Amino acid sequence: MKKNIRILELSKDYGKKFYNGDYKKMIDETDGVLYDDENIKGAFNNGNGSFNHLMNYIKNNRKYARYYDLNKKRYI
């Protein structure tokens, strides 16, 4: 598994309702679901999640959320 992963899931509906679509403000406030190494492991595959599981989840949920890599400072 890759180490030191920090990906923020930004809900599109939540962002529109509470931030008027200002994703930069959401990122600055870290207002979203943070996926780090520990959370990824616990969130997928019955506690054995991997980066690949997260990437599949992201692929399947792009119409509902945006994903931002806090380490690389860019959307994925």
pTM summary value:
0.91
- In sequence order, the β-bridge partners of residue 36 are 6
- The 10s digit of each residue's pLDDT in 39-58 is 999 999 999 999 999 999 99
Domain boundaries, the chain: 6-75
State yes or no: pLDDT of 33 exceeds 60.
Answer: yes
pLDDT band at 2 (very low <50, low <70, confident <90, very high): low
Per-residue tokens: 44: 């997928």
Residue pair 57/7 in contact by the 8 Å Cβ criterion:
no
State yes or no: pLDDT of 20 exceeds 70.
Answer: yes
Phi-psi sector, 72: left (phi>0), alpha (psi -120 to 50), beta: alpha
State yes or no: pLDDT of 1 exceeds 70.
Answer: no
